[in-house]
Structure 1
Amino acid sequence: MSFFGFGQSAEIEIYLDGQETRKTAEVKTDDSKKERLLLYYDGETVSGKVNICLKKPGSKLEHQGIKIEFIGQIEMFYDRGNHHEFISLVKELARPGEMIANTSYPFEFSCVEKPFEVYTGANVRLRYFLKVTIIRRLADIGKELDIAVHTLSSYTEMNNSIKMEVGIEDCLHIEFEYNKSKYHLKDVIVGKIYFLLVRIKIKHMEIAIIKKETTGQGPNTFTENETIAKYEIMDGAPVRGESIPIRVFLAGYDLTPTMRDINKKFSVKYFLNLVLMDTEDRRYFKQQEITLWRKGDKVRKANSHSPSIMAGTQNLQNTAQLHQRSMDNKENDDIIDDEDQSPEEGVAGLKEDFLRAPNSESNDKLSSRDPFDEKTSSPSEIEDSQIQNMTREAGDGQNDTSNDIAE
């Protein structure tokens, strides 16, 4: 068929510079499968070469030009015919002519802006890819290559803890606190739940991480909720004054950073959902939004240049020098000067204690004032405080209008 101008008479290969050593990332495809792609960051140059091989040796390929594009694109699954491109860069590789032999074309997109992270959800997909096109009169020849893009963040402002008192009027009052409101994707959520008033028969309590994906605008808004993880944190009836600890490790789950109004097309938010179930299978819940962000990997230096090893080596050298000076002074019956300490004094002077960094990310302390260590509030004090109602799930267990709480 290629003799009549149909079909592909050439193969296209896209090679990226440094692809043998570049990091890769696992990205979900639109068919719910996963593939590993080369990883890039915002502002990085994307360069390489395009190899075009003729399928039939000795033949020629007529074309109207060869180009390569770098494209950032958002695709709504309910509107697959329209692709929203937020990045579109084009480089011309060859002018119209004939190709009579296999040819390689270098390309470079310098310091490319990549403002968003790749994402594939229930109703939307954001991707970056290179597209090579050999323009022909009848049918173009094309090739695409996807890449992964991660956005790194850092939060230097105060990362306040989340503290809230919730409950059911005259039936249940609890106070919960999470150590932070912003977590990186490999962080640990630490918290406590304290029971101030218990007048209903609670069977168990669980906490869940929920991802909420919102796409579209106005009447065409679609919201998809997905439960990422679920933990049972209590089994059995609690008593007043009981404290339940919470510790959730995020590293083992498929999470993305929080995305807010990406190119005015979609958002991805995460919530901690605290759920209680009573003995009649009625469920009450309270959601609290948290912010997730991606932290850059720490680069470890070689052991030979490790500061701790160098410091230890220096300590040994100093100790040996002090010991040698001490032995020399003993032989000469000289008095050791103040600057020349004894071996024991030298070791003690060089020894240092390990201190926790003030901004340590693994700081599990909730706050300088831990409300759960204080005296339990009296019922009168509870009634006077501001308590947020928990929400009753519809259609769970028996109907009990006395415990139905509106949102």
Structure 2
Amino acid sequence: MKNLFSFGTPAELAINFTGEDSRRKEGDLLIYAPTDDISGTLRLTAKKLDHGGIKVELIGVIQTTVDKSSQFEFTASVRALLQSDTLDGTEVHPAFVHRVVLTVVQELPFAFVNVDKPHESYYGKTVKLRYFVRATVLRSYAPNLTKEQDFLVHSPEVAPELNSTIKMEVGIEDCLHIEFEYNKSKYARCSHVCPYTWKSSSVRRYHLDDVVVGKVYFLLVRIKIKHMELAIVRREASGSGLDKLTDTETVTKFEIMDGAPVKGESIPVRLFLGGVGLTPTFKNVNNKFSVKYFLNLVLVDEEDRRYFKQQEITLWRKQV
């Protein structure tokens, strides 16, 4: 009687993707393009396992980091690997049609062909967009056994058209006038009361391995500037209404000037985006979240007062 009704020893589940050794990774996760098929094997190890079937699912979800139980599933596909009455030709008593015994090791291949993967993966502070394969061993008299394995989807884009001129108006009336020119686009100064004002006619686009190249011109300097910084800021927003979450993070920054500038001086700027840990810009993905990036120009005077303003930039992925 014990042999008939015991739950057996739980199995160890491992999900292995095809071509793991040759495929690119980011951290520990494999990288796929949206059009790539996802295939591999599910490896089960157990001395004894009673189950009512084994399945694998490819799932894409958006979930907030505050409440992981609240998630939006935007893609899903299921593959049945084993039925309860077809494992190793085991005979099953009619009274226990859901009972099958799995011994030692079983490797079960799976493949997800032409499954829609519409969005790029994103792991942020307040929100995650995840893709993963989930294996489930169904059991009638005990909790199901599950195993999840994440993977990344990177979505390359076609090179956008060249940007029109961007104009940034920066100034402290009768004290400081600056002109910031980069990558053949020009920021034009103005004279308004501190802090800076900033106006732009369009958003500059850069791919993730691009280089921001330019110069900062000091047209008028009547305050004592101590140093100047250029930073990239990421602003992440998820949810809506009372549940809206926002996180602002300085991804990287560097000092482009140390010491007081003089009128007519120009400071070169060269900011490499590759290897910084940037992602593409996300615009209202499934009405769930957005991610924006900004160039942040900061000047600090001798009294440690900071004058700054941000210019939005759009980041895109050139290749997987």
Q: What TM-score range do you get, normalising by the shorter chain?
A: 0.7 to 0.9
Residues 1:234 and 2:257 are matched in the alignment = yes
Deviations 1:70-126 (A, max 9, x none): 011112122222222111111111222314444333221112221222222111122
Residues 1:275 and 2:298 are matched in the alignment = yes
Distance in 2 of aligned mates of 1:238 and 1:49: 63
TM-fit CA distance, 1:176? 1.0
Q: 1:6–1:284: structure 2 CA closer, same or farther, 3 Å change rule? A: farther
Matched residue of 1:63: which SS? coil
Structure 2 match to 1:284: 307
Which deviates further from its counterpart, 155-164 or 115-124?
Answer: 155-164
TM-fit CA distance, 1:233? 1.3
Structure 2 match to 1:23: 24
Q: 1:251–1:218: structure 2 CA closer, same or farther, 3 Å change rule? A: same
Matched residue of 1:245: which SS? strand
Residues 1:79 and 2:80 are matched in the alignment = no
Distance in 2 of aligned mates of 1:232 and 1:161: 25
Greater relative CO (CA pairs within 8 A, separation 6+): 2
Contact 2:7–2:50 at 8 Å: present in 1 too?
Answer: no
Contact 1:194–1:243 at 8 Å: present in 2 too?
Answer: yes
Structure 2 match to 1:41: 33
Deviations 1:320-357 (A, max 9, x none): xxxxxxxxxxxxxxxxxxxxxxxxxxxxxxxxxxxxxx
Pick one of 274, 283, 287 that aligns with 1:251.
Answer: 274
Structure 2 match to 1:157: 161
Structure 1 match to 2:222: 199
Distance in 1 of aligned mates of 2:67 and 2:175: 48
Distance in 2 of aligned mates of 1:216 and 1:10: 38
Contact 2:230–2:253 at 8 Å: present in 1 too?
Answer: yes
Matched residue of 2:56: which SS? strand
Gaps of 5+ in 1: 27-35, 298-407
Larger radius of gyration: 1
Distance in 2 of aligned mates of 1:14 and 1:192: 51
Structure 1 match to 2:234: 211
Deviations 1:262-318 (A, max 9, x none): 221111111111111122221110100111111216xxxxxxxxxxxxxxxxxxxxx
Gaps of 5+ in 2: 86-99, 186-203
Deviations 1:201-252 (A, max 9, x none): 2222111111111111123222111111111112222222221111111123
Q: 1:116–1:12: structure 2 CA closer, same or farther, 3 Å change rule? A: same
Q: 1:195–1:5: structure 2 CA closer, same or farther, 3 Å change rule? A: farther
For normalisation by structure 1, the TM-score amounts to 0.65
Structure 2 match to 1:350: none
TM-fit CA distance, 1:5? 4.2
Pick one of 52, 55, 62 that aligns with 1:64.
Answer: 52
TM-fit CA distance, 1:164? 2.1
Matched residue of 1:163: which SS? coil
Structure 2 match to 1:399: none
TM-fit CA distance, 1:165? 3.0
Contact 1:161–1:177 at 8 Å: present in 2 too?
Answer: no
For normalisation by structure 2, the TM-score amounts to 0.82
Q: How many residues align?
A: 283
Structure 1 match to 2:12: 11
